[in-house]
Chains A and B, each alone.
Chain A
Amino acid sequence: MAETFLRRRTPELFGMATLVVCVLVFEALIRGGVVNRYIIPPPSDILLAFERVIVEENILARCRDTAFEMLVAGGASVLVGVPIGVLLYRSALWRRAMEDWIGALAAAPIVLAFPLFLVLFGRSPKTIIVMGFVHGLAPIILKTVEGLASTRPVLINVGRSLKMTSSQMFWKILLPSAMPIIFTGIRLSWTFVLITIVGIEYLINLGGVGQLINELAERYDLPGTYAGICFVILVSVLFFLALERVESWLQPGR
Chain B
Amino acid sequence: MSISEKTPLAQEPALVVDDVVKRFGRGTEIVTAVDHMSFSVKQGEFVSVIGPSGCGKSTLFNIIGGLLSDYEGAVKIGEERISAPHPAVGMVFQEESTFPWRTVIDNVAFPLELQGVPKSERMDRAHHFIDMVGLASFENAFPSQLSGGMKQRVSIARTLVSQPKILLMDEPFAALDEQTRLLLGDKITQIQQELNQTTLLITHNLTEAVQLSDRIVVMTYRPGQVKRIVDINLPRPRTSDVVGSDAFGHYVAEIWNDLREEASRGMADSESAASRRAAHG
Contact = CB atoms under 8 A, between A and B. Distances in A.
B97 A154 contact: yes
B95 A152 contact: yes
B114 A168 contact: yes
A67 B54 CA distance: 58
B142 A161 contact: no
A155 interface: yes
Given A158-B93, A160-B85, A253-B145, 17 more contacts: A152-B97, A154-B96, A157-B93, A157-B97, A158-B91, A161-B66, A161-B85, A161-B90, A162-B85, A162-B162, A176-B101, A251-B101, A252-B103, A252-B142, A253-B102, A253-B142, A254-B101
Interface residues of A, number: 20
Interface in B156-201: 162
A229 interface: no
Nearest 3 CB-CB pairs, A to B?
A253-B142, A154-B95, A161-B91
Interface in A160-210: 160-164, 168, 172-173, 176-177, 179
7 contacts: A152-B97, A155-B97, A157-B67, A161-B89, A168-B114, A172-B114, A251-B101
A254 B100 contact: yes
Contact of A163 (B87, B97, B110): B87
A168 B111 CA distance: 11
Contacts of B110: 162, 172
B65 interface: yes
A155 B158 CA distance: 13
Given A158-B93, A160-B67, A253 B144 contact: yes
B51 interface: no
A168 B116 CA distance: 12
Nearest to B164: A161
Contacts of A251: 101
B97 A162 contact: no
B88 to A, nearest CB: 12
Contacts of A158: 91, 93, 97
Interface of A: 152, 154-155, 157-158, 160-164, 168, 172-173, 176-177, 179, 251-254
B99 interface: yes
Contacts of A172: 110, 114
**At the interface, is chain B mostly helix, strand, loop or mixed?**
loop
A179 B100 CA distance: 11
A176 B99 contact: yes
Nearest to B103: A253
Nearest to B86: A163
A224 B231 CA distance: 86
B224 interface: no
A232 B152 CA distance: 48
A133 B96 CA distance: 39
Contacts of B142: 252-254
Nearest to A176: B101
Nearest to A163: B85
A160 to B, nearest CB: 6
Contacts of A157: 67, 91, 93, 97
A159 to B, nearest CB: 9
A183 to B, nearest CB: 12
Contacts of A163: 84-85, 87
A179 B87 contact: no
B99 A252 contact: no
A251 B145 CA distance: 14
Contact of B114 (A152, A160, A164, A176): A164
Contacts of B65: 161
A173 B87 contact: no
B44 interface: no
Contacts of A160: 67, 85
A187 B101 CA distance: 20
Which of A160, A161, A177, A252 has the most chain B CB atoms inside 10 A of its CB? A161
Contacts of B56: none
B101 A253 contact: yes
Contacts of B87: 163
Given A176-B99, A253-B103, A162 B67 contact: no
A65 B89 CA distance: 58
Interface in B57-106: 65-67, 84-85, 87, 89-91, 93, 95-97, 99-103
B143 interface: yes
A173 B102 CA distance: 11
Contacts of B95: 152, 154
A100 B110 CA distance: 38
Nearest to B104: A253
Given A161-B85, A163-B85, A252 B101 contact: yes
